[in-house]
């Protein structure tokens, strides 16, 4: 593994189903983030984690949950998917939560909820 | 509210220079980032400004004026591979990044 990986690459999901998007980084970064990217809108922060064992809510957290059991993994769960959650999801990480820390992004997961 | 504004789309010619502007209104300021995103790919870091002035990195330069809430990304000697979206993001007082919608740059031969 080099950098950040996400799985699956893409997924079509029926409304009401539960889905977990996986994210793993091997850079030993403390901070991790989940964003969604929709056409015409900027990246929007869903949830974040400043260090293993802690999580926080971003701009659009409703309908999503996260956990950070260890440094490397930061899964995002949709408990009951709805069509408005159709989007491209990016996981990112940075050395820390503070300023000047650039964020490194995974390749993204394209999710379609029907 | 917090707001980042940048043009939706720009067109430039190969070999030329283009300036992409970004204006922002955020709750606090802890730096401004520029990212490049090719279609269907992840954003990649280009530059970071926290003090006023110009930061130069090869063909790319980024400028910041905190008093004006303004930044620009300058791309010189444009190449076809520079066709991409350019994302402006400001780190607010909570150290969260607020993102603009991005500027799609089209390079013509």
| CB-CB neighbors (< 8 A) of B101 in chain A | 40-42
Quick one: pLDDT at residue B23? 98
- Mean pLDDT for A10-37 is 97
Cβ–Cβ below 8 Å for B91 and A104:
no
Q: Tokens representing B7?
A: 């043009």
Is the pLDDT confidence value at B31 over 60?
yes
Residue A105 distance to chain B (closest CA, Å): 6
The length of chain B is: 109
Q: B11 vs A98, which has greater pLDDT?
A: B11
Is A57 within 8 Å of chain B by CB?
no
Question: What pLDDT does B79 receive?
Answer: 97
**Who contacts B81 (Cβ-Cβ below 8 Å, separation ≥6)?**
none
Q: Which residues have C-beta within 8 Å of that of residue B40, sequence separation ≥ 6? A: none
Q: Count of CB atoms within 10 A of residue B37's CB?
A: 19
pLDDT digits (tens, 9 = 90+) for A38-91: 998 989 999 999 999 999 999 999 999 999 999 999 999 999 999 999 999 999
B91-101 mean pLDDT? 92
Q: B1 or A8: whose pLDDT is higher?
A: A8
- Report d(CA A54, CA A40) in Å as an integer: 31
* CB-nearest partner of A40 from B44, B96, B101: B101
Q: Are residues A103 and B97, on separate chains, in Cβ contact within 8 Å?
A: yes
Per cent of chain A over pLDDT 90 is 89
Query: Cα distance from A59 to chain B (closest Cα, Å)?
Result: 9
Chain B CA closest to residue A40: B101
Under DSSP, the state recorded for B55 is E
Tokens 């970064």 correspond to A29
Q: pLDDT tens-digit profile of B36-67? A: 999 999 999 999 999 999 999 999 999 999 99
Query: Minimal CA–CA distance to A5: which of B63, B68, B42?
Result: B42
Closest residue of chain B to A39, computed from CA coordinates: B101
What pLDDT does A12 receive? 97
Reference A93, options A22, A31, A34; nearest CA is A31
Tell if the CB–CB gap between B31 and A99 is shorter than 8 Å: yes
- Residue A47 · residue A78 · CB < 8 Å: no
- The DSSP code sequence of chain A is --SEEEE-SEEEE-TT--EEEEEEESS--SEEEEEEE-TTS--EEEEEESSTT--EE-SS-TTEEE--SSSSB--EEESS--GGG-EEEEEEEES-SSTT---EE---EEEEE-
- If interface means Cβ-Cβ distance under 8 Å, which residues of chain B face chain A? 4, 30-31, 33, 41-45, 48, 50, 87, 89, 91, 95-102
Are B95 and A97 in contact by the 8 Å Cβ rule? The answer is: yes
Average pLDDT, chain A: 95
For residues A9 and A88, what is the distance between their CA atoms, to the nearest angstrom? 10
d(CA B21, CA B7): 7
pLDDT bracket for residue A1 (50, 70, 90): low
- What is the predicted pLDDT for the residue at A70? 97
Q: Summarize the confidence of residues B20-32 as an average pLDDT.
A: 95
Which residue in this structure is represented by tokens 């409703």? A62
Q: How far is A15 from chain B (nearest CA, A)?
A: 25
Cβ contact A45:A55 at 8 Å: no
pLDDT of residue A40: 87
Which of A41, A97, A100 is closest, CB to CB, to B101?
A: A41
Q: Residue A2: what pLDDT? A: 73
């Amino acid at each position: 593994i080099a950098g950040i990986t996400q799985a699956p690459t893409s997924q079509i999901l029926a409304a009401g189903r539960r889905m977990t998007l996986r994210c793993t980084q091997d850079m030993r970064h403390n901070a991790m983030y989940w964003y969604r990217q929709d056409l015409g809108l900027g990246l929007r922060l869903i949830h974040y984690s400043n260090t293993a064992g802690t999580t926080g809510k971003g701009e659009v957290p409703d309908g999503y949950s996260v956990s950070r059991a260890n440094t490397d993994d930061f899964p995002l769960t949709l408990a009951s998917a709805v069509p408005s959650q159709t989007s491209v999801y990016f996981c990112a990480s940075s050395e820390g939560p503070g300023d000047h820390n650039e964020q490194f992004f995974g390749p993204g997961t394209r999710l379609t909820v029907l | 509210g917090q707001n980042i504004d940048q043009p939706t789309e720009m067109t430039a010619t190969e070999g030329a220079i283009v300036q992409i502007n970004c204006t922002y209104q955020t709750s606090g300021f802890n730096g401004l980032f520029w990212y490049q995103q090719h279609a269907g790919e992840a954003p990649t870091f280009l530059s970071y400004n926290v003090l006023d002035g110009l930061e130069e990195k090869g063909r790319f330069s980024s400028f910041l004026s905190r008093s004006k809430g303004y930044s620009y990304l300058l791309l010189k000697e444009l190449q076809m591979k520079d066709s991409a979206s350019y994302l402006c993001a400001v780190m607010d007082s909570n150290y969260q990044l607020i993102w603009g919608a991005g500027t799609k740059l089209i390079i013509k031969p």
